[in-house]
Structure 1
Amino acid sequence: MMSFKKWIILSVLTVIPFLANSQFRLTEAGKQKGVNEKNITKNISSIVLPFIEDFSNYRNIPNPNLWENSGAWVNFDYPVFPPTVGVVTFDALDSQGQLYQGANTTGFPADTLTSCKIRLDSTLLPTPTKLTPQDSIYLSFYVQPGGGIGDIWDNIGATPAKKDSLVLQFYSISQNTWHNVWKTEGLRVDSIFAKDSTYWLFINIPIVDTIYFNSEFRFRFLNFASLANNPSYAYVDNCDHWHLDYIYLNKDRRYDDRAIRDIAFVNPARSLLKEYQAMPAIQFSEEDMGDTLSIKIINLSDIALSSQYNYYVFNSFGAEVASYNGGFENIYPYIQTKNFQTSPNHANPPINFSYSLNPNQWETFDVVHIVKEGVGQDSRTSNDTISFKQVFENYFAYDDASAENGFGIEPITVSNLALGFNLRVPDTLTAVDIYFNSTYQDANQKPFYLCVWNSLAGKPNDSIYRSHTYLTPTTEGLNQYTRYYLDSPLVIPQGEFFVSLQTKYSDYLNLGFDRNTDCSSKMFGNWSNSWEPNTLFKGSLMIRPYFGYKALIGLEEVEKEELNFSLYPNPTNSTVNLKINNSNNFHNTNYKIRIINMLGKEVYSSAFKTQIDVSALSNGVYILYIIDTKTHQTKQEKLIIQK
């Protein structure tokens, strides 16, 4: 077993000196940015109170109906036990996923999140009423520094340094000035937990100055970051994370007004398989199914409530193939108990079925989880549904396609970093997808050999493939993999095999490292003809082996990427618009629309159209599918009806 002195975690902010001879290193990773904001419809009218945002409806770009602009980004993967699923994260990267120009080690302004205009002059319902400081208007939010909790090698993302900060400002239109109203310096989640046994700071700011009581009030958050003072640019990438959640602005509030009637999911949905997030259909067996799930549900009110939990599994045609009914259970207030739902019927539901697959046909399934308050008075329904897409195609994936950190080897001589997989039947390896983190001045671009090894006693044994030439790390985009084709297809027999990266350079090879899944037992390093297991860092390398000739041709991947659509408004009460975000080779006549309720029943079907009348549907959560009638591929989105 590798001794403790062999390991190091490298934070962008700190390096542990007594681990300086390590060969494995861990760094922070980039964010999922690079989304073109030109095609996003912006809100041009002022918002009427209440303003509430829990970031459960959007990914990447914040809701344009609430936010004017943002370098910050919405994600489900970086925070530790957020108030509800989904947060907005601030870091050191711009909207294209690159370090801000002028980034330095002393400090620089980074991300900004600015609200749309908000009416603090009056309310309109039930009757128009002028607002004044006597209306007790408060802006509250939850904030968490990045980096996670516990041992430094368990860090998720990056902890801000003490000299870093997160700032809240209010805008005065009469003075044309932004005023600082709140600020926090860098800190760790551990210090928050030690004080209050919770993972987030709750901040509640009164608005009392009359300069803000107009029809164009705005507020914004911005962070100040700093790069590590590290001589190797390969270590210097993203840093200084801050997470915000549940931003709430309204009148008739109190300073200690924390409780809100909301039962919600805390974490995103995960795979129903024991080890993999995705795997080849031909390799699947019932033995791959997990036994139970781990579900975090929270009660944000100050009283015990009853809730119902279910999950449903739909195939690619929208037909229900499995379901689970957890019944009704009481859930007690988190602000009193500091606990999530503890009933095993909801917190640890069984996986009581197995996927039914044709081993020669690709298939995807949607696993949809729903929690509802028993009496139906939940103030927010958008955080009551989470879903996971289970993919059975031609590749293995331990990771969830989101890099919270970077991981790699810093060799003294020739070194290998290997990841193991298992074949139930022989197959032909044709390509490997790898995600490399973007680093400062592209210092990550150190050549490597792509290698494949057979197995002996659970470790890499003999090399059965090495690329003819060195390959170069490239970054296609944030969390976008680069495909490396083998020089010739390689038939791999049944059993375990390993994919490895071999390098001779003394600088760091910064691979994407997913901290929300864990294949650490499958990771090995080799420095001096000795393979040693990873026993310290929990997570999954973003390395995905591909099999068969479809990976060479790439046609299936192109077809599936060509259709990407969004729904708006969502939630809706009458009509919903469909917007095709990527229209390459898209023809309306090839597609149809289906809407399925949570019982698996079809409630709407039609040929493709850009606007749908859903006024006849009852309140609730639905899945809207667009189906390619020629290839039978589908795309789907959650649709919420709220009247």
Structure 2
Amino acid sequence: MKKSSYILSAVLLICLYVFNAGAQEKVVPLNRNMAYSNPELKPFKSKKQRASLPFIDDFSYEGPYPDATLWQDNKAYINNTMSATQLTRGVATLDGLNEFGRPYYPQPFNSGLADSLTSVPIDLSTYTSIDSIYLSFYYQPQGLGFAPESTDSLFLYFKNDLNQWVRMWQMRGTGISNFKYVILPVMHAQFLHGDFQFRFINIASLNINDDIWNLDYIKMGVKRTEIDTTMKDVAFSVEPTSILKNYSSMPYRHFIANQANETSLVNDVVVNNLDGVPHAVTLNLDAREFISSSAVNNQNLASVNIAAKSSSQQSFASYPISYVPPTNKSKVVVRNKYFYPSVNSGDRKANDTIVKDAVFDNYFAYDDGSAEKSYFLLPAVNFPSKTALQFTLNEADTLRGLMVHFGAQVPTALGKYFSIVFVQIARQSGFFRFHYPPGRFV
């Protein structure tokens, strides 16, 4: 038999032996945020400097920490994956996990003050009420996580000239909604001093990333009014879709061996016009192999007219990839950079560009490396539950390892057993051959 005539699939079967009632799939909040476990993550260091007006942050940068030139603490989680309706790429998420991605209090059934997002001092000593200073922001409960309960809340405080924090706004927990807009005056004399600050803080369960609040596009400036809802900005929003059809990551040699079936038909990007007037946007793509900086594709994608305060999703046909790596086992990273020229002087440069990487390494993966919830199986009494993942190979290969992240559990995973079984399936002319490799991991 010729190996090339086979489609080989490796099926990973996980059996969970947990003796509880009811066999069903469940999702629960995370007990750990792995975005903080990157060994290359640089520690957060606030710049200990005063900011000036206008103060604007739309979180269009790499997290997980806030911009240290604008924020004094590092407890909010900066990301672009905890929402599907953000105004611009990037939100600040407040939950029940600390700046290390771990619970504030690991025991269950505890709630209290959790994350905070505190501005650096802002010098307002030269302003008066005539300058009409307002602070605005967008907020969203739940996002792609779990909704805050009615006993949970999101608060906003201002610091006055007596160094006291004054509560100015609050919202009790509720179910998911689109982002809502809030604008508040900063004109009382007690706030017009040299060390003014504002702070968001949430009440949440302190042992999980439950009770999610997302913040976006925080803006403070002069000559504003309570009906000022326009941001003179056009911005990319959610993550672009992957160039891969079946996986988020796979070996490059398997991709090249069957590129037609492994490439997605189209790639999608979302652009939001936050301005009060229409804007024409010229979308461009620069695709490169990131490690070698080799050009992969470069094109003008489309010219799009986006109506005032509206969103536009654009789809573009995928392109063929002919990059040749140094060896057939080399790591390859194809970086798609979408961008457009600024539309006006108020347009923020950082959100005019968005990047999506396709990583080709020595593994197959369905997930994108981020996590919004934990998944588990609740078995029937005295019967193990089972789940399976299938990975299809496009050429002969060898399985050398398995990476699985088992989420932390509260209170403990003690006494919960599992088995991992590998099953190899060979298919030719409709015939299936099952092979069970000897041994199990327990």
Task: Report the TM-score, using the length of structure 2 for normalisation.
Answer: 0.86
State the identity as a percent.
29
Work out the CA distance in 2 between the residues paired with 1:43 and 1:240.
30
1:146-157 equivalences under 5 Å are 146=142, 148=143, 156-157=144-145
| CA distance 1:442–1:311, change in 2 (3 Å) | farther
Q: Which runs of 5+ in 1 are unaligned?
A: 1-19, 123-130, 149-155, 193-198, 228-235, 471-643
Alpha-carbon deviations, 1:358-399, whole Å to 9, x = none? 54433222111112345x434201011111222222111111
The one-letter code of the counterpart of 1:349 is F
The residue aligned with 1:426 is 396
- Deviation for aligned residue 1:205: 0.8
Structure 2 SS opposite 1:159: coil
1:113-128 equivalences under 5 Å are 113-122=117-126
Contact map agreement 2:285 2:338 (CA 8 A) in 1 = yes
Contact map agreement 2:329 2:362 (CA 8 A) in 1 = no
The residue aligned with 1:206 is 185
The residue aligned with 2:231 is 260
The residue aligned with 2:377 is 409
The residue aligned with 1:618 is none
Contact map agreement 1:137 1:207 (CA 8 A) in 2 = yes
Contact map agreement 1:259 1:302 (CA 8 A) in 2 = yes
Matched pairs, number = 408
- Deviation for aligned residue 1:105: 3.0
Q: Select the residue among 93, 96, 105 that pairs with 2:100.
A: 96
Structure 1 SS opposite 2:253: helix
Q: Select the residue among 420, 423, 434 that pairs with 1:450.
A: 420
Work out the CA distance in 2 between the residues paired with 1:353 and 1:34.
35
1:600-619 equivalences under 5 Å are none
CA RMSD of aligned residues (A): 2.4
Work out the CA distance in 2 between the residues paired with 1:467 and 1:161.
46
| CA distance 1:425–1:319, change in 2 (3 Å) | closer
- Deviation for aligned residue 1:209: 1.7
Work out the CA distance in 2 between the residues paired with 1:53 and 1:214.
22
Work out the CA distance in 1 between the residues paired with 2:322 and 2:97.
40
The one-letter code of the counterpart of 2:376 is G
Structure 2 SS opposite 1:382: helix
| CA distance 1:441–1:48, change in 2 (3 Å) | same
The residue aligned with 2:132 is 136
Structure 2 SS opposite 1:311: strand
The residue aligned with 1:180 is 167
1:345-384 equivalences under 5 Å are 347-358=314-325, 359-374=328-343, 376-384=344-352
Contact map agreement 2:250 2:364 (CA 8 A) in 1 = yes
More helix by share: 1
Q: Select the residue among 241, 253, 257 that pairs with 1:270.
A: 241
Q: Select the residue among 62, 66, 70 that pairs with 2:74.
A: 70
1:170-249 equivalences under 5 Å are 170-172=158-160, 174-189=161-176, 192=177, 199-226=178-205, 237-249=208-220
- Deviation for aligned residue 1:401: 0.1
1:311-350 equivalences under 5 Å are 311-315=285-289, 316-334=291-309, 339-341=310-312, 347-350=314-317
- Deviation for aligned residue 1:449: 1.7
| CA distance 1:41–1:465, change in 2 (3 Å) | same
Contact map agreement 1:34 1:95 (CA 8 A) in 2 = no
Structure 2 SS opposite 1:257: coil
Determine if the alignment matches structure 1 residue 286 to structure 2 residue 256: no
- Deviation for aligned residue 1:81: 1.1
Work out the CA distance in 1 between the residues paired with 2:104 and 2:95.
10
- Deviation for aligned residue 1:241: 0.6
Alpha-carbon deviations, 1:131-171, whole Å to 9, x = none? 1122111110000011x4xxxxxxx2111111110000011
Q: Which runs of 5+ in 2 are unaligned?
A: 1-20
Tell me which of the two structures has the higher relative contact order, counting C-alpha pairs closer than 8 angstroms and 6 or more residues apart.
2
Structure 2 SS opposite 1:33: helix
The residue aligned with 1:163 is 151
| CA distance 1:119–1:441, change in 2 (3 Å) | same
- Deviation for aligned residue 1:309: 0.3
Contact map agreement 1:237 1:439 (CA 8 A) in 2 = no
Work out the CA distance in 2 between the residues paired with 1:253 and 1:379.
18
| CA distance 1:110–1:415, change in 2 (3 Å) | same
Structure 2 SS opposite 1:279: coil
Determine if the alignment matches structure 1 residue 25 to structure 2 residue 26: yes
